[in-house]
Amino acid sequence: MPPMNMDDPARASRARMRPSGLLGMLIAITAIELVVAHHKLDLTPIVGIDWNQVGRRLERSVRENEILCFGDSMIRHGVLPRVIQQRTGRRCLSLAVAAGQAPIDYFLLRRALEAGARPTALLVNFKPYLLEIDPMPNVWLYQQLLSFRECWDLAQTTRSDELFSRVVLGRLLPSVRNRTDLRDHLLAAFDGQSRSMRQANRFHLDQWRYHRGSQLTSPNPQFQPADLERAEFQSLFKTPWTPSPVMVAYARRFLQLAAENDIPVFWLMPPYSPEARTRREQRGLETAYTEFALQIQAEFPNLVVLDGRQADYPRSVFVDPSHLDGIGGTTLSAALADVLRTAMESKRTGPRWLELARFRPLDELDPSLIAAKTQLNVRRR
C-alpha cells in the first residue's frame, strides 16, 4: 500500500468540509447548559423550584391520595393536606403552585389521571387576578414545568407562536429560563459575593415534602392595613374584572376532565384579610366573581363551591392581603375538611354552594390542631 499523502487535494478538501467549529460550539453549549441545570437550586427562585418540582411530587405519590388539591398560593398556604387527612380519613396531596393558573391545573390533573390516580375528590381555587391575565407574563414559570406536548396544547389554545417558542426554548435551555438570575449571580461573583438560593430552596423542598405539597408560613405581625397601598397588591383591586378567555377555557377543560372521570370538584374561595375583602366588595369585584362562578357552576353538575370569603378571618392570621399564616391555614383546613367530609358522604345530594364556618381560634377546635404552632420549622428527612 502506498504511503498516505497528506498533501492530497481531495483529502484536504474533505478536512475543510468537516464542521469542527459547529461541533465545538455545540459541545460548549451542552456543557454550559449541563452546568446551569446542575446548579438549579442555586440559581432558581423558590417559586420557580415550586413549579419545577411539582411534576416530580405528582409522579412519586399521586396514586396514593384520594383528595388532590390544585390552584395557586392561596391553597398552597391555606390548605394543609395533613389536617384534611386527619379530619376526613382520606389521604390528601397538594399540587397547587405559587401563581398557578388554570392551564397548570388542567395539565397536572391530566398527568395525574394518566399516571393512574383515581381521586375521589378534587379541590381547586381560581384566584381572580390569575384568571384575568394570560400566560405570557408568567412565561418563565411555564418554562419550568411544561412538557412539549403541553407547550403545543397551550400554543394551540392561545394561538401564540411567540409563547410556544419562548416556552420550548426555555424548557430546552436552562440558561434561557434562568438568564436573569444567572446574570445576577455572575455580577455578584465578580464582587466576591454569593447569591446562592440553595439553602432556602432545600428548606422549602423539605417543607413541601413533609406537608405533602403545602407550605406553612410564619406569622407576620408587621402586616397592616396601610400595606394594601403597596404596588404588588394593586392587582387584587383592579377594576373592571374580566377573566381571560384562555384561562376560562382551561378552567372549563379542568372541570370537564373531572366530569368525564366522574370526580366531584370543590371550588374553594378562600378568605381575604378584612380590609382587602371590604375594598373588593366596595369595588364590585366579589359580585363579578360570584356571577362568574355561578355561570361556570351551571355548566358542571359535578362542581360544588366552598365559599370562605365571609368567614371573618382576622388580619392577625394573614401574612399579606390574601395569604394565611400557618395558624390561619390550619384553621381554614379544619373548617374545609369538615365541609368536605359531609359533602363527600352525601354523594352529591346536598347543596352546591356552601359557606365555610366562621373563624375560630385553634384552642376552640380539636386540640390536636394546636400542633401546627410547632410545625413551622420542618424536620429534615
pLDDT of residue 7: 55
**Residue 9 belongs to a domain:** no
**Residue 337 belongs to a domain:** yes
CA 307 to each of CA 222, 293, 316, 353: distance values in angstroms, whole numbers, following the listed order: 27, 11, 20, 7
**Residue 104 belongs to a domain:** yes
**Residue 14 belongs to a domain:** no
Q: Which residues pair with 318 in a beta bridge?
A: 324
**Residue 301 belongs to a domain:** yes
CATH number of the domain at 166, please. 3.40.50.1110
pTM here is 0.87
**Residue 173 belongs to a domain:** yes
CA 331 to each of CA 52, 204, 244, 315, 362: distance values in angstroms, whole numbers, following the listed order: 29, 22, 32, 14, 6
pLDDT of residue 58: 84
How many domains does the chain fold into?
A: 1
Q: Following CA atoms 205, 210, 214, 219 in sequence, which dihedral angle do they give, to the nearest 10 degrees?
A: -90
Determine the straight-line distance between the first and last CA of the chain, rounded to whole angstroms.
68
- Residue 315: alpha-carbon gap to chain centroid: 24
CA nearest to 92, candidates 302, 287, 336, 362: 336
**Residue 330 belongs to a domain:** yes
Question: How many whole angstroms separate alpha carbon 147 and alpha carbon 35?
Answer: 21
pLDDT single digits (tens) 314-324: 999 999 999 99
pLDDT single digits (tens) 253-269: 999 999 999 999 999 99
Residue 213: give the domain boundaries: 47-224+238-374
**Residue 233 belongs to a domain:** no
Read off the pLDDT of each residue in 328-349 and give the average, rounded to a whole number: 87
